[in-house]
């Protein structure tokens, strides 16, 4: 049966746990330079309507290491960019390829593609969700902190797609998550309401509350792609939300700091804090590869 990964809540807690275990196995195989090619002769179409570094490289290399191939399609390369209906693009591509990954603006584009495609569709990023990133983040936390149970995870910054996917992670895993955003930059209201059913979830407008006794502190850019006109306004609103050494004094002594990149030093994170935790942050970036390989293997082999 065809499955999609349009958002984190497309999988069950048990399935997510399997993907994380599989990612650990695939990371070990790669480190040992082992050969494991379950997707030989399979092809992934990668549609990019938004620019990318980590998403493109991790999916392209991941597919190659699994024995398959990846085809890059920008919005200027396809008829989607000229107004062809998404349902038609889906029904053409699913006759050529074994899976589709899309990095786009509207979540409705991802959902429409998944609705009409007969092959798995993966959300590489939309304005609503960034599920691959959060799955990789949880994998990274497990590597550095072990069991998620008992950990306080803080997300401090914009109520954007990363924040929304952290809300979904809190719903899925029952995480102890505290999220702090400015009052006018809240995450998705529907997801926020659902997350609040988890008694271990806290939403606040005070970054100090989120950082207090935190085991993990996460942040993201203040100005996402497509919001460049709001840059100065956002910088003023988010100024108290910078992850700096003063804020981290409120966290636990062995706190780890994460950032999904790209990072703008001395805006959402200070230069000093970024460099102090650079090994974790770049491991987090690397882990996109391993988690997405697990996801590709699982989705494509199921079809």
* Catalytic site positions: 103, 130, 133, 220, 260, 288
CA 137/CA 135 separation, integer angstroms: 5
Question: Could you tell me if 179 and 187 are in contact, meaning their C-beta atoms sit under 8 angstroms apart?
Answer: yes
Distances from the Cα of 71 to the Cαs of 105, 214, 225, 265, 300, in angstroms? Answer: 20, 41, 23, 33, 16
The separation between CA 166 and the C-alpha centre of its own chain, rounded to angstroms, equals: 9
Name the token pair of 108. 């409705």
For residue 169, the tally of other CB atoms under 10 A from its CB is 24
In degrees rounded to 5, what are phi and psi of residue 125?
160, 135
H/E stretch holding 101: strand 99-103
Name the token pair of 10. 């497309």
Q: With H, G, I as helix, E, B as strand and everything else as coil, classify residue 102.
A: strand
CA 256/CA 145 separation, integer angstroms: 9
CA 137/CA 23 separation, integer angstroms: 12
Sheet holding 201-204, edge to edge: 201-204, 176-180, 152-156, 216-219, 256-259
CA 167/CA 185 separation, integer angstroms: 15
Name the token pair of 118. 């007969």
Q: With H, G, I as helix, E, B as strand and everything else as coil, classify residue 211.
A: helix
Find the largest Cα–Cα distance for the chain: 55
């Amino acid at each position: 049966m065809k499955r999609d990964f349009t958002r984190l809540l497309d999988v069950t807690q048990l399935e997510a746990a399997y993907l994380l275990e599989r990612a650990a196995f695939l990371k070990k195989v790669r480190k040992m330079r082992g050969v494991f090619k379950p997707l030989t002769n399979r092809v992934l179409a990668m549609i990019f309507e938004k620019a990318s570094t980590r998403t493109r490289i991790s999916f392209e290399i991941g597919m190659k290491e699994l024995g398959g191939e990846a085809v890059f399609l920008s919005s200027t390369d396809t008829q989607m960019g000229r107004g062809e209906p998404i349902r038609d693009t889906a029904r053409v591509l699913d006759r050529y390829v074994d899976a589709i990954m899309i990095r786009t603006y509207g979540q409705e584009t991802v959902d429409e593609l998944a609705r009409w495609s007969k092959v798995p569709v993966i959300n590489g990023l939309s304005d609503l969700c960034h599920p691959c990133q959060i799955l990789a983040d949880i994998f990274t936390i497990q590597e550095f902190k072990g069991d998620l149970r008992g950990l306080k995870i803080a997300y401090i910054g914009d109520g954007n797609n990363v924040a929304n996917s952290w809300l979904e992670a809190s719903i899925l895993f029952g995480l102890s998550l505290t999220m702090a955003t400015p009052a006018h930059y809240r995450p998705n209201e529907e997801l926020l309401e659902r997350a609040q059913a988890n008694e271990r979830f806290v939403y606040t407008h005070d970054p100090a509350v989120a950082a207090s006794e935190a085991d993990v502190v996460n942040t993201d850019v203040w100005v996402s792609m497509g919001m460049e006109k709001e840059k100065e306004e956002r910088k003023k609103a988010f100024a108290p939300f910078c992850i700096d050494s003063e804020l981290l004094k409120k966290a636990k002594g062995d706190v780890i700091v994460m950032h999904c990149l790209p990072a703008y030093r001395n805006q959402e994170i200070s230069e000093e804090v970024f460099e102090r935790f650079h090994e974790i942050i770049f491991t987090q970036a690397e882990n996109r590869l391993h988690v997405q390989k697990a996801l590709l293997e699982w989705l494509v082999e199921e079809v």
